[in-house]
Structure 1
Amino acid sequence: MAASDMAWSARNQVPKAMDRNDMDRVRDEFVSAALMADRAGFDMIEIHAAHGYLLSSFITPLTNHRDDEYGGSLDNRLRYPLEVINAVRRVWPAHKPLSVRISANDWCGDEGITPDDAVEIAKRLRDAEVDIVDVSAGQTSTQAKPVYGRMFQTPFSDRIRNEAAIATMAVGNIYQADHVNSILMAGRADLVCIARPHLADPYWLLHVAAGLGDSEVEWPAPYRAGADQLQRLAERGEGWV
């Protein structure tokens, strides 16, 4: 299912354009998932509305070709995603953060979502009592022409945080502690997500902290001897490789 019966590419199947019954069922499944997450003890949840997934297919005009109240203007395209978000917010405890991930740029010029649109989307999310926006980009069209580089999505987070007055997470080709610290200290995001370095080394953050001489980071008890060794290396200026 999707917003419209439009295949991702010529090699993909054509999805069913969602009708009202489909929308109700999927909305209720989001609510059920949020309730299960709370019972399981999660402290925070995120609704994925980026990268061409279901809610993203409604938001971007590249894949939303509907001619009803769920298509057309940005407000109309946001109508169903906000129905889902509002329903989840009602059952997710108020003291636990709710995040929503968006694609802040479709990388398709004015035909798709632009950074200006992303600011407006973030304002709607703020009004829906979303606590933080996970600011990603792209992956909504095979025609996209992304501009990659170090911290290449951080400017979108910067604009949303400072123009829409909502907390943001910066993601995308952020792989050094200096990247993280500069983003946070410059007020370009409230949180920074590090994925690939942690996939390569699950203790990346601990190793970086030890290399910087940060003795306040809590290591798991079985690894504290290794932490002490790394900190001694840092004190001698040898760092961690």
Structure 2
Amino acid sequence: MTREDMERVKADFVRAALWAVEAGFDWLELHCAHGYLLSAFICPLTNHRTDEYGGSLENRCRYPLEVFRALRAVWPEHLPMSVRISAHDWAPGGNTPDDAVEIARLFKEAGCDLIDVSSGQTTRLARPIYGRMYQTPFADRIRNEVGIATMAVGAIYEADHVNSIIAAGRADLCAIARPHLADPHWTLNQAARLGYTEVGWPKQYLSGKAQLERNLARASLERAEELAIRGV
């Protein structure tokens, strides 16, 4: 990208942010992960520039930070703004969780309120190590080493996962994505399983809420009676 290209794209980002303000959004996130343009600047495996926007981590973050500051200048000061990063490229020569801590620190200094901590999808060379809550350790490090709020994502699919992450101080928020693709009412079902009855349901679904809660209570009672009979 030439300097002219970079200014044009930055102006496009600013225009989008202003539209978000006009539309009444409450929260704005700048996507700097998963191989998209700003991510491609940050990742050493895709950034081959030899000017002030390539080379060191600080240089690779220079343009994403320019874009962020331009957005922060037009986004209402009282509203939160977050940045999503790939905290690990999962490939030799790529960014590591140590780099992610420094990236988060740079965005915090620029006025970021929260880091949305994902990983990978920056290069086809990536070999992620998947597992339950596998990206949460990255959110944990950034939150507790940088002192900025984080959102944990990735293979978080049970309410107990969320509760344990938040209660342990490993992140401030959790995003549940794919489980909602499989079950659009994941949040309502998990709340019912936890015995939390105060969550709001659409009026059209209230009869389903009552039935689900009765069925869960019955199943719990039957399980307790079974354990009692077995002397457990």
If the TM-score is normalised by the length of the shorter chain, which range does it land in?
A: over 0.9
- 2:211 corresponding residue in structure 1: 229
Q: Distance in 2 between matches of 1:232 and 1:90?
A: 51
Q: Distance in 1 between matches of 2:129 and 2:113?
A: 28
Runs of 4+ with >4 A deviation: none
Query: Which of 40, 51, 58 is matched with 1:68 structurally?
Result: 51
- 2:25 corresponding residue in structure 1: 42
- How far is 1:238 from its partner? 4.7
Residues 99, 132 of structure 1: 8 Å contact kept: yes
- 1:25-174 correspondence to structure 2 within 5 Å: 25-109=8-92, 111-174=93-156
Is structure 2 residue 16 aligned with structure 1 residue 23? Answer: no
Tell which structure's C-alpha radius of gyration is larger: 2
Q: Structure 2: state its 5+ residue gaps.
A: 222-232
- 1:14 corresponding residue in structure 2: none
Is structure 2 residue 191 aligned with structure 1 residue 209? Answer: yes
Q: Distance in 1 between matches of 2:158 and 2:135?
A: 15
Q: Distance in 2 between matches of 1:40 and 1:238?
A: 46
Q: Distance in 2 between matches of 1:187 and 1:237?
A: 32
Q: Distance in 1 between matches of 2:201 and 2:27?
A: 22
* 2:85 aligned counterpart, secondary structure: strand
Q: Distance in 2 between matches of 1:162 and 1:103?
A: 18
Tell me the percent identity. Answer: 65
- How far is 1:92 from its partner? 0.7
- How far is 1:236 from its partner? 2.6
- 1:173-192 correspondence to structure 2 within 5 Å: 173-192=155-174
* 2:79 aligned counterpart, secondary structure: coil
1:190-236 CA-to-partner distances (Å, cap 9, x unmatched) read 00011111011111101110121101211112112211222222333
**Alignment RMSD:** 1.2
Q: Distance in 2 between matches of 1:82 and 1:183?
A: 29
TM-score scaled by length of structure 1:
0.89
Q: Which moved more, 1:37-46 or 1:157-166?
A: 37-46
Q: Structure 1: state its 5+ residue gaps.
A: 1-17
Q: Distance in 1 between matches of 2:136 and 2:58?
A: 25
Residues 86, 128 of structure 1: 8 Å contact kept: yes
Q: Which moved more, 1:227-236 or 1:191-200?
A: 227-236
Q: Distance in 1 between matches of 2:203 and 2:37?
A: 42
Q: Distance in 1 between matches of 2:177 and 2:20?
A: 22
* 2:61 aligned counterpart, secondary structure: helix
Higher helix proportion: 2
Residues 107, 144 of structure 1: 8 Å contact kept: yes
Residues 212, 234 of structure 1: 8 Å contact kept: no
Q: Distance in 2 between matches of 1:210 and 1:95?
A: 34
Q: Distance in 2 between matches of 1:43 and 1:36?
A: 12
TM-score scaled by length of structure 2:
0.92
1:128-174 CA-to-partner distances (Å, cap 9, x unmatched) read 11111110001111111111111111110000000010110101111
